[in-house]
Chain A
């Protein structure tokens, strides 16, 4: 065995070795000294790889182990020596990568069993090791995940559902301990109903790999509450069993949130639904159109994902409207406006054309470009239709000022058709209330003066079913007459039968009267123009007026020419009494201002007194005498000037029409012209007659046609004598031919002026006449005026003697300068006699004259043949002379006179003038004088200063030579006028040459014109400035004017007032200045200073804004503050610039106001004034506008939402009662100024109609706090700001918290007034018709009337019967026998019964005629009262009334008492033998009470059950049971009134049960 085994061993060894060589494991052997004895390939490889060393046999491995491996080495050594087998893991690391080995060390023995070394087998276990590690860490992860997960997780066995493990979260979430949990299976956690489906789903997922989403399941916690969990699972093997690990997330919270979210979405959806409109959103950039749901709902078009088609929309618009709609959108987009609204027709999907109102708003980007439009389209077809319907309805009937009356069609014959409708205009017109005429015939309006012929015409038309129009007199209810225009048309029903007449009636009394008065008025005019004598005409006029208006007496007075008094002209009296007025000392004229006429004249209006005695009427006594009581003084006007009076009198007080008729007004205002015309003719005639000149009209035939008195007077013939003879016969014979000659010339058309001829008077005197004659060819006459110039002719002759008698000196020289004539004064002055001088040469005698001024003028006059005037002092005569030379053909005539006296006066005047001059100089006004030739004669200092012209440069010159421009001025004309007409003038003038406003006073005088003038330029400018400021502030108040525009306007106007200024306003923004407006600064300059930063020395504006104070730079070029802009200023020629900061109330700089000048300049006081005012104004308008802008921005946000709808959207925070409302409709409802309406819920409530408000609040409170409902809807009336009520329809969506408490409500509110009104009108119309029908059926009206009659008229005779029977009995009882007394008794009894009957009937009729006032009625009380009432009867009969506890009902107590009284009364009355017993009971049904009154009485045969409730139905002989047969009818009527029923159940002999139902 041994050898065998050795061989085998050897074989084995060699075999093993080759095996070892190829093993993947590292195998090596070492001897005890660690020398390598063997290593296989893998070992070599590893060594090479990890140590970079090639092993060789015999190598000592000890050195291979590095220091850090020394432990391993020692271990190995120990192993080697211990010769035991060891197994361990080792690791070598290279470049951070670990390689793991499983090392097996075995001792090696030789054949002798000597321990010779060890073999080492190292197996690479890196992969396994890594896997292990991975596994380890994954398990850790799992455990961590599982146990620490915040989500509950568990593992359960799929077959048994046994829970295997759970994490901590499960425990905390579900409330179980782990121990409890591990004993449970998962089904225990489910509601029973969920278990089966869970089983199914687990089976289904059993084989699934990967995560499983189970969805949402319900779990029960330990405390029994249910939570919603979302489960994810994974099937695993756990403890070798197929298990499921599940993660359950509690999503109850999430679900709740989702639910809320969903609700909130719904809410949004609801809001869009609540708006009633189709909301749309148009992206203008890419034309995307979004339609809200309303589009399909309202117009029927389906949209895909709400995507719209703008072309489609456009094509559905009615063809006629398309262009307009498109245009308005385009206009809107281009404009700056954002609101758009358009109404147009729009074709719905079903082809129907709808009216829509489309409102939109444009959203713009920063540059103002429209990018989006949001809007709402509303179907307003119904509204439109209703509007129209309503309009027609309203206009035709209700609001018609014409009375509308509708009657039945027949009978046309007596009594005439019955009226079924009248409108309120009818009542107004006739005084009949609607109720009074309904059922009657229109004939009630007719009366004695109604024209029979017209009525017959109407009747004929009616019979022929023809429309007809008549005009007749009708009568109002109070008997007053009025003219009525009646137009009647028949109305046919759908079958063509005429059913009604509609009659439209107009009150045309006014028109009729106007016609009559117009007629009268023209008659009056005719009278005036047709009568020769004004007095006669006026007498007729006042007569006609008085007769028409019923006055007793009248007078006409006219104001005289100089308006100093009033003159009596004519009168008229109704009778002799009235005529007494002028019998006694009548007034013929009255001084201006006296009496009533004076008063009326002054007031320019009529005056009247109903009691003449209390008036200031002058002729009171006469009036008293004539029995006149009242007086009316009516002025007659011509062009608003009083020219006379008509005074009217009456023997009693006036009535209204007499005082205030249009006729009187017309007469007063319009008749004046005709009177004046008539009067003018009168006066002209008087002129003609009274003229001292001879006036005549001469025919071409040579006869006088008309002459005035003067002609007769001059010639001494009578008019007739003159008229019948030819003119030539009166002419002085020598002149006759010439007269004929001239006449023929005149006839040919020539006028004649100043033709003189002589006439012979009857006495034979010759008279000189000077004629002016004008032919009137068409009429063949000559108008001629002649003046008697006989006297003048005589004077001419005498004049020749005058020369000699004049006091001036006069002499004449011939060509030789010899004296030819010297008058006596001249002889005196020349100190020579005429004889001494005549024929002598002047210079021979007076040599001293041949030099100096005298001689110069002498020569001049002779040479130029012109007169010369001059003054001269002759020493020789020691005297001043005034000389006048008149050259004649044959020499010279010389006048002269001594003027010493005058000269002396002149000198005195001169001295006085010097004195005055100093006064004139001190006048501070400008002052100048002009002579009549416009030469300036005076010019004071102020004029020098103001006009900048020195006195010496103008005095003595023509004004317009110095101021040639002034000649074209307006006041040249004024001055010319002043000068020529002698009118003082007072004018304000703008004097262009000097840019001055002058106030000028000019006074004309003989010598010329004195002119005062004052500089009022500054005052004018301030006035203009003030005006401008007002205008600017007004513009500022307009919201649509931009700030830039206002400022530009303002600056432009300031520059007009200060033409040398250039203004600029800059705006400060973040420390930089930007141009706001500078209408006249050069554009390039503006752009160069745009955006400069403020600071010291930054020009005027930059500095002013920086320092917050004005900066006056009067010389830019030499001012350091302008250093930076010197070149710029130079380039644009600016020499001065003043800048003023514009500060707001907080002292912040808004901008600057700067003034540039082209000259070096400081502001004057006036300029500074203007500027400071401007700064203030700018401050105001800028602040104002900016504030406005902010508000606008805030509002815009809200408006965007609200404007997309026509409704009022509101958002009510119920917890703090804050309400936010917005929407276009709000404006209409509430005055915008009432802004507090928005936040407060209370103020909204306050405006709800008082009749609605409590209901609304009640309903709202119920909705909010007593229901869990979320949708709210109500409608109510709401007080609009204009005082009217609007019907609002309100819908809302409420948000509640988890406790169902209301939190917030969002809703929409719509004004449905129009629909509502229509509804109401139709409803009320229906109601009226129903009511009418009811009334007609029941004839309630008649019944009521009957009742009234019964209560009076029937009772009265009855009373008579019974009273007198009783009286009879009383007085004559003893005389009557028993039968007689019995008869009386019967009669009295009959009367009594009749009285009862009437009183019952009355009660019956009253049941329906009185209104019901519902109130709670305790029926127990009623029954108790009745028990008391029937106390006696009960006592007598031994009866008893049982009543259970009865309910409180809503009713009217009186009828209910009556009802029960009748029923109980009947029960007592119709009793059987037994004592009556009555049970009053009730039963409560769902919506009514059923009362029953049961008795044990006679009972009623069933066949009478119906009958007994009918009036007058009695079952018993009246002798058996007293009664009228009305009681049960009353009961039925009462029950009917309350919408209940009444019935009876009975068995004869056993009793009856009356029951009635009463609604709750």
Chain B
């Protein structure tokens, strides 16, 4: 690992945030995880606006769908329509297993759609799987900061 990866977690639910963090921490990793609470902030973060001026661009985005202010689908659409950000892989993490949501997200260019498992073990397993695939197996594009 040359440099720790930057992960942006867009999650309004405190509980899920903690679970995700716990799951990732259990891996003993070096990744820098930033968490924002809503869609608007996610976009500010990406654009390095306001308080995010000094943040680094993420290598991977974990995105919840149900978000206040600007929901996850809109954030997804923003990212995938942007010339700059569209190459960052976006993993949708959602409670919904509605066919409609799944299709819509892939339509909008989501790289992966994962239904949050309802039990703790399942949840941890999923986060581990994501980490291992996207950050250890998959080749990610050159980070925008580099």
Interface residues of chain A, those whose CB is within 8 Å of chain B, are 1348, 1351-1353, 1355-1356, 1358-1360, 1362-1364, 1366-1367, 1370, 1391, 1395
Indicate with 1 or 0, residue by residue over B106-130, a CB within 8 angstroms of chain A CB atoms: 0000000000111111010000000
User: A1367 vs B65: C-alpha distance in the bound complex, in angstroms?
Assistant: 24
Given A1351-B96, A1352-B98, A1362-B118, 14 further pairs, Cβ under 8 A: A1348-B98, A1352-B95, A1353-B95, A1355-B95, A1355-B118, A1356-B66, A1356-B116, A1359-B116, A1359-B118, A1360-B16, A1363-B19, A1363-B119, A1364-B15, A1391-B118
Q: Closest 7 A-B residue pairs measured CB to CB?
A: A1366-B120, A1360-B15, A1359-B118, A1352-B96, A1356-B95, A1363-B120, A1355-B95
- CB of B120 within 8 A of CB of A1370, answer yes
Contacts of B132 in A (CB 8 A): none
Which residue on B lies nearest to A1395, using beta carbons? Answer: B118
Kindly supply a per-residue 1/0 record for chain B positions 57-75, scoring 1 wherever the CB is within 8 Å of any chain A CB and 0 otherwise: 0000000011000000000
Check B98 against A1360 for contact (C-beta < 8 Å): no
Report B107 CB to chain A, min CB distance, Å. Answer: 18
Contact call A1362/B119, Cβ cutoff below 8 A: yes
Task: Write out the residue numbers on chain B whose beta carbons fall within 8 Å of the beta carbon of A1359.
Answer: 95, 116-118, 123
Q: B100 to chain A: closest CB distance in Å?
A: 8
Q: List 25 A-B contacts (CB under 8 A).
A: A1348-B96, A1351-B96, A1351-B98, A1352-B66, A1352-B95, A1352-B96, A1353-B95, A1355-B96, A1355-B118, A1356-B66, A1356-B116, A1359-B95, A1359-B118, A1360-B16, A1362-B118, A1362-B119, A1363-B15, A1363-B19, A1363-B118, A1363-B119, A1364-B120, A1366-B121, A1367-B22, A1367-B120, A1370-B120
Q: Which of A1355, A1362, A1391 has the most CB of B within 10 A?
A: A1355
Give me the interface of B with A, judged by CB distance under 8 Å: 13, 15-16, 19, 22, 65-66, 94-98, 116-121, 123
Closest CB of chain A to B84's CB: distance in Å? 21
Chain A residues with CB below 8 A from B117, complex form: 1359
Report the nearest A residue to B116, measured CB to CB: A1359
Given A1360-B15, A1363-B19: A1351 and B97 interface contact (C-beta under 8 Å): yes
Provide the bound-state CA to CA distance between A1352 and B116, in Å.
10
**When chains A and B are docked, how far (Å) is the Cα of A1366 from the Cα of B98?**
26
Q: How far is the CB of A1353 from chain B (nearest CB, A)?
A: 7
Give Cα A1355–Cα B13 distance, bound, in whole angstroms: 13
Residues of B within 8 A of A1352 (CB): 65-66, 94-96, 98
Q: Which residue of A lies closest to B19 (CB)?
A: A1363
The CB with the most chain A CB atoms within 10 A, among B65, B66, B95, B96, is that of B95
Residues of B within 8 A of A1367 (CB): 19, 22, 120
Residue of B13, B15, B123 with most chain A CB atoms under a 10 A cut-off:
B15
Contacts of B19 in A (CB 8 A): 1363, 1367
Complex Cα spacing A1367 to B19, Å: 9
Asked if A1353 meets B66 with Cβ closer than 8 Å, knowing A1359-B116, A1363-B19, A1364-B15, the reply is yes
Number of CB contacts from chain A to chain B under 8 A: 50
A1365's nearest neighbour on chain B, judged by CB, is: B120
Query: A residues within 8 A CB of B15?
Result: 1360, 1363-1364
Contacts of B94 in A (CB 8 A): 1352
Contact between B119 and A1366, CB atoms less than 8 A apart: yes
Q: Is the interface of A mostly helix, strand, loop or mixed?
A: helix
Q: Bound state CA distance, A1366 and B118, in angstroms?
A: 11
For the complex, give the distance between the alpha carbons of A1363 and B18 in Å: 11
| Residues from chain B with Cβ under 8 Å of A1366 in the complex | 119-121
B118 to chain A, nearest CB (A): 4
The residue on A at minimum CB distance from B98 is: A1351
- Which one of A1348, A1351, A1353, A1391 has the highest number of Cβ atoms from chain B below 10 Å of its Cβ? A1351
Residues of B within 8 A of A1355 (CB): 95-96, 118
Q: How far is the CB of A501 from chain B (nearest CB, A)?
A: 35
Chain A: which residue is nearest B117 at the CB level? Answer: A1359
- Asked if A1358 and B118 sit within 8 Å, CB to CB, the answer is yes
Q: How far is the CA of A1356 from the CA of B116 in the complex (A)?
A: 9
Q: Is the CB of B97 within 8 A of A1363?
A: no
Complex CA distance for A1366 and B119, rounded to whole angstroms: 8
A1355–B98 Cα gap in the complex (Å)? 12
Q: How far is the CA of A515 from the CA of B47 in the complex (A)?
A: 43
* Set of chain A residues within 8 Å of B98, measured between Cβ atoms: 1348, 1351-1352
Partner of A1363, one of B66, B96, B123: B123
CB neighbours of B123 from chain A (8 A): 1359, 1363
Cα separation A1360 to B15 with both chains bound (whole Å): 6
Tell me the complex Cα distance, A1363–B121, Å.
8
Using Cβ atoms and an 8 Å threshold, which residues of chain A touch B96? Answer: 1348, 1351-1352, 1355
Tell me the minimal C-beta distance from A1346 to chain B in angstroms. Answer: 13
Q: With contacts A1351-B98, A1352-B95, A1352-B98 known, is A1360 near B119, CB below 8 A?
A: no
Whose C-beta in chain B lies nearest to the C-beta of A1364?
A: B15
Alpha-carbon distance between A1359 and B98 when the two chains are bound, in angstroms: 16
| A1363, B123: Cα distance in complex, Å | 8
- Specify which chain B residues have a CB less than 8 angstroms from the CB of A1353 in the assembled complex: 66, 95
**Minimum Cβ distance to chain A for residue B5 (Å):** 25
CA distance A1395 to B119 in the complex (A): 11
Chain B residues, CB < 8 A from A1370? 120
In the bound complex, CA of A1391 to CA of B19 (Å): 18
- In whole Å, how far is A1387's beta carbon from the nearest beta carbon of chain B? 13
Q: Determine the chain B residues whose CB is within 8 A of the CB of A1391 once the complex forms.
A: 118
Q: How far is the CB of A1402 from chain B (nearest CB, A)?
A: 9
A1360–B13 CB distance below 8 A: yes
Closest CB of chain B to A1527's CB: distance in Å? 20
CB-CB < 8 A to B116: which residues of A? Answer: 1356, 1359
How many Å from the CB of B94 to the closest CB on chain A? 8
Shortest beta-carbon distance from B4 to chain A in Å: 26
Complex Cα spacing A339 to B127, Å: 84
A1363 CA to B122 CA, complexed, in Å:
9
Task: State whether B95 touches A1362 (Cβ < 8 A).
Answer: no
Q: Which of B22, B66, B97, B120 contacts A1362 (CB 8 A)?
A: B120
Question: Which residues in B have their C-beta under 8 angstroms from that of A1395?
Answer: 118
Q: Nearest Cβ in chain B — how far from A304, in angstroms?
A: 73
A1353 to B119, CA, bound (A): 16
Give the residues in chain B near A1363, CB-CB below 8 Å: 15, 19, 118-120, 123
Complexed CA–CA distance, A1352 and B97 (Å): 8
Closest residue of A by beta carbon distance from B120: A1366
How many angstroms from the CA of A1356 to the CA of B93 in the assembled complex?
12
With both beta carbons as reference points, the residue of chain B lying nearest to A1358 in the complex is identified as B118
Chain A residue numbers with a CB within 8 Å of B97 are 1351
Q: How far is the CA of A1084 from the CA of B99 in the complex (A)?
A: 97
B119 surroundings in chain A (CB, below 8 A): 1362-1363, 1366
Bound together, the chains give a CA A1363 to CA B17 distance in angstroms of 12
> Cα distance A1363–B97 when bound, in Å?
18
Closest to A1360 in B: B15
Q: Hey, which chain B residues are within 8 Å of A1358, CB to CB?
A: 118
- In the docked arrangement, what's the CA distance between A583 and B22, Å? 64
A1364 contact set on B, CB distance < 8 A:
15, 120
Q: Whole-angstrom distance from the CB of B14 to the nearest CB of chain A?
A: 9
